[in-house]
Chain A
Amino acid sequence: MAKQISVFLENKAGRLSHVTRVLGTAGINIRALSIADTSDFGILRLIVNEPDRAYQVLKENGFTVSETEVLAVQVADSPGGLATVLEQMHEENLNIEYLYAFIGTSGNDALVVLKVEDSEKTSEIFRQKGIKFLDESQLYRL
């Protein structure tokens, strides 16, 4: 399982660059990100190499931040790779709240970040089914 950093952003010019600048100055590397937005606000979701420090630094800079548990799943980097995983999750009634793709790859696999309702249960089922996901130390080192 991995830690995701979520940041509340108003839909105003310059807010995203401010976050990335704050992290850059602190020497924190962004490994993956996604933005979910509405007309008024957005939620920036980040996977970084040092989540705890990122959380602190952003908080000190006045952002509303939270840490969320997510799964970084390895998916075969070939057509239907993601579909296979999602189908298996569907069969097991595992609900996905959101997902986004990782920038880097792990060996021959693509990486997808998954936020699920119950990450304990999901990771257990993934293990049984042989769906690979990265543990924290592997993820932050990528």
Chain B
Amino acid sequence: MLYWDKEKECMPREELEKLQLRRLKETVFRTYAFVPTYKEKLSQVGITAEDIRSLDDLKQLPFTTKQDLRDNYPFNLFAVPMSEVVRIHSSSGTTGKPTVVGYTKKDIEIWAELMARALTSAGATKNAVIQNSYGYGLFTGGLGIHYGAERIGASVIPTSGGNTRRQVMLMQDFGTTLLTCTPSYALFMHEAMLEGGIEPNDLKLKAGVFGAEPWSESMRREIENKLGINAFDIYGLSEIIGPGVAIECSCKNGLHIAEDHFLAEIIDPLTEEVLPDGCPGELVITSITKEALPLIRYRTRDLTTLERTRCDCGRTHVRMQKVLGRSDDMVIIRGVNVFPSMVESVLLNIPGVEPHYLLIVDRKGNLDQLEVQVEVSERLFSDEVRKLEELGGLIRKDLESNLGIGVKVRLVEPKSIPRSEGKAQRVIDKRNV
């Protein structure tokens, strides 16, 4: 099966845009009427639902930021009474107050549909055995995937994260065909397979849907080769709905954003100006069907580009490229923006380098320093100091020419960089501690 909902996923553009305009108007109307913060924001720019005449008018609407969610903690941005809210999710809140998101019954319904589309796009059918290793709980990953998998009638194994040896055992015994987790956890599972004497190619695993952290094309190759599967990127964020906002199709040339529910724009994060298709910038999403928490022009802080050319899969929805990085993960070193994904791309292009790395940013005197830790695998190891130093030098030169700043490379022992069962920590910034 190619599509879950062909009518929506392949809807002719003209028809789709009509639907979007109607839904955008409704959203502006509802937020103005039921959310005091939006009434204030919209009044400031002097716009009501009647002023929205075309999709182009979207750019006159005010932005919503993560700070708005914090300022309205916990429920003040909800557009429905709490009696209509059937689910609450929340971010971990490692930096300040957590952000809280709510869902009505219909929101949950739509989310399950979106996830059903996503899993179908990755090849899942009702015959699939889906091992869902995203965390269940306040995090949207676990339950989001779960509902979509049940929606298509697949068999779900709700393993959540953790207990990796057991995960691998279940994968073998239950005949998992599709794995869902973060890309870094997929690699960690691969290590656990090898340790447990399990040959990945003997498993029934065919595909993986990986997300919740930015990962590079080289990381995809690494996962696909090591696990012998097809790896698909999924995008989502809890503020918008959770996983399922966008999913790759088999063409793997970008992630189709479910445009019947979300409007996507790319802006210059500094000037807030809307950028033309193809220009990299910050992704801004407007949810046009959310009942409990509709957000207008939400600044995702994720950097990517949009591509509207026709996709061979037949879907008409716009594609976003793999996320380059989250502006939260970006570290500024001596004035240069560095994303972990840039380091990852460089490292994985060097044969034998393992996809486990850590960036340590520190300040010595007045100078920022970036240290990149790389694990020495058996393939890289030599009994001669000179050869290892040459290797370190080669990695350093590659990184420096790609990042444009001086880098110190430290070779570390295998498995000394902490493995993660959720989102991998790629950066330790000691400058603020």
Residue-wise, chain B 402-433 has the 8 Å CB interface mask toward A (1 for contact) of 00000000111111100000000000000000
> Quick one: which of B300-316 are within 8 Å of A by CB?
none
For the complex formed, measure the closest distance between the CB of B319 and the CB atoms of chain A, giving whole angstroms: 41
Task: Tell me the total A-B contact number using a CB cutoff of 8 A.
Answer: 55
- Is the pair A41, B388 in contact by a Cβ cutoff of 8 Å? yes
Chain B residues, Cβ within 8 Å of A91: none
> Quick one: which of B277-300 are within 8 Å of A by CB?
none
Q: Which residue of A lies closest to B381 (CB)?
A: A64
Give the one of A6, A38, A41, A62 with max B CB within 10 A.
Answer: A41
- Is the pair A8, B385 in contact by a Cβ cutoff of 8 Å? no
- Is the pair A65, B411 in contact by a Cβ cutoff of 8 Å? no
Chain A residues, Cβ within 8 Å of B328: none
Residue-wise, chain A 38-70 has the 8 Å CB interface mask toward B (1 for contact) of 101101010000000000000000111110100
Chain B residues, Cβ within 8 Å of A83: none
Q: How many of chain A's residues touch chain B, expressed as a range? A: 20 to 34
Residue-wise, chain B 221-251 has the 8 Å CB interface mask toward A (1 for contact) of 0000000000000000000000000000000
* C-alpha spacing A72/B383, complex, angstroms: 17
Chain A residues, Cβ within 8 Å of B416: 10
Q: Which residue of A lies closest to B411 (CB)?
A: A41
The answer, yes or no, to whether B202 is at the interface (CB within 8 Å) is no
* C-alpha spacing A45/B412, complex, angstroms: 17
The answer, yes or no, to whether A9 is at the interface (CB within 8 Å) is yes
For the complex formed, measure the closest distance between the CB of B384 and the CB atoms of chain A, giving whole angstroms: 6
Instruction: Provide the main secondary structure of the chain A interface.
Output: strand
- Is the pair B382, A66 in contact by a Cβ cutoff of 8 Å? yes
Residue-wise, chain A 3-36 has the 8 Å CB interface mask toward B (1 for contact) of 0101011100001000000000000000000001
- Is the pair B411, A40 in contact by a Cβ cutoff of 8 Å? yes
Chain A residues, Cβ within 8 Å of B383: 4, 6, 43, 45, 66, 68, 115
In-complex Cβ contact of A64 among B378, B384, B410 (8 A): B378
Chain A residues, Cβ within 8 Å of B388: 8, 41, 43
- Is the pair A97, B384 in contact by a Cβ cutoff of 8 Å? yes
> Quick one: which of B186-201 are within 8 Å of A by CB?
none
Instruction: Add 7 more A-B contacts to A41-B411, A43-B388 (CB < 8 A).
Output: A4-B383, A8-B381, A9-B413, A43-B385, A62-B415, A66-B382, A98-B384
Name B residues whose Cβ lies closer than 8 Å to a Cβ of A: 376-378, 381-385, 388-389, 410-416
> What are 28 A-B pairs at a CB distance below 8 A?
A6-B381, A6-B382, A8-B376, A8-B411, A9-B413, A10-B411, A10-B413, A38-B385, A38-B389, A40-B410, A41-B376, A41-B388, A41-B410, A41-B412, A43-B382, A43-B383, A43-B385, A43-B388, A62-B413, A62-B415, A63-B413, A64-B377, A64-B413, A64-B414, A65-B378, A68-B383, A98-B384, A115-B384
Q: Which 9 A-B pairs have the closest CB atoms?
A: A6-B383, A68-B383, A36-B385, A64-B381, A8-B376, A10-B413, A64-B376, A41-B411, A40-B410
